[in-house]
Amino acid sequence: MTKEIKKIVAIIPARGGSKRIKNKNIKDFHGKPMISWVIEELKKISFLDDIVVSTDSEKIIKIALEHNVKAPFKRPDKLSNDTIPIAPVIKHASAWYQENISDIDYVITVYPTAVLMSYEDIENAYKIISIDRNIGCIFSATEYSFPIQRAIFLDENNQVNMFEPDHYYTRSQDLLASYHDAGQFYISRIENILNETPIHSLDSRILELPRDRVMDIDTKEDFRIALDLFALKRKY
């Protein structure tokens, strides 16, 4: 029996503006725009059929075309402000692709700042979702370095309070491990994308990454740390 061939498309949502780091998605990072590193890493994936960049920026479209990946439309203004969630952006790009090019089975969403992302992680994650029909999405995550059950906050009087005071005396090893989204990639079945099924749903699974390969780049300090982590990654 012939093995069924699946159509797998990567979508990079790359808005032009950024408040905290100007032009973050195309900021020079070790000699290249950040998004360039992401595109080059995606191109190493053995089973990937296509890469699409969804953007409202002519500069980003130009960079995408220089890398021979698709940037076939300019993202609508209603999907380009800094308050819009990611789900409708990916849905728009996926629906456009299906209407204009071909059907899709899986969508791989990758952020343009995911410079620590490894194509091997995506390949390993795809192996998991492709053999288990009950999984609608698999995404990168990493374990919190400190038990979240011991997290504290400051009240209106600047006094220290625990979110979960019942765990004040609980040993760390007895607390349930907790994880956070690594913000690198999400592999979803097309029906999850078109239905805008939340990433953190019961049909989702994670591919755990080591903490030293996870960095959310939102500030200038984050950017400097990412430069060092990326250099370390390339060294090894």
Per-residue pLDDT at 82 = 80
Q: What is the pLDDT of residues 122-145, one digit of tens each?
A: 999 999 999 999 999 999 999 999
By the 8 A CB rule, do 89 and 95 touch? no
pLDDT at 103 over 80: yes
Per-residue pLDDT at 235 = 64
- Superfamily (CATH) of domain 8-141+181-235: Spore Coat Polysaccharide Biosynthesis Protein SpsA; Chain A (3.90.550.10)
By the 8 A CB rule, do 75 and 25 touch? no
Tokens standing for 117? 């992302």
Nearest to 207 by CA among 114, 106, 125: 125
The CA distance from 220 to 211, in Å, is 20
By the 8 A CB rule, do 108 and 13 touch? no
Q: What is the pLDDT of residues 109-125, one digit of tens each?
A: 999 999 999 999 999 99
Task: Using alpha carbons, list the distances in angstroms from residue 54 to 35, 40, 103, 193, 207.
Answer: 12, 17, 18, 15, 25
Per-residue pLDDT at 1 = 39
Nearest to 188 by CA among 118, 115, 87, 75: 87
pTM of the model: 0.92
By the 8 A CB rule, do 122 and 185 touch? yes
Q: What is the pLDDT of residues 30-76, one digit of tens each?
A: 999 999 999 999 999 999 999 999 999 999 999 999 999 999 999 99
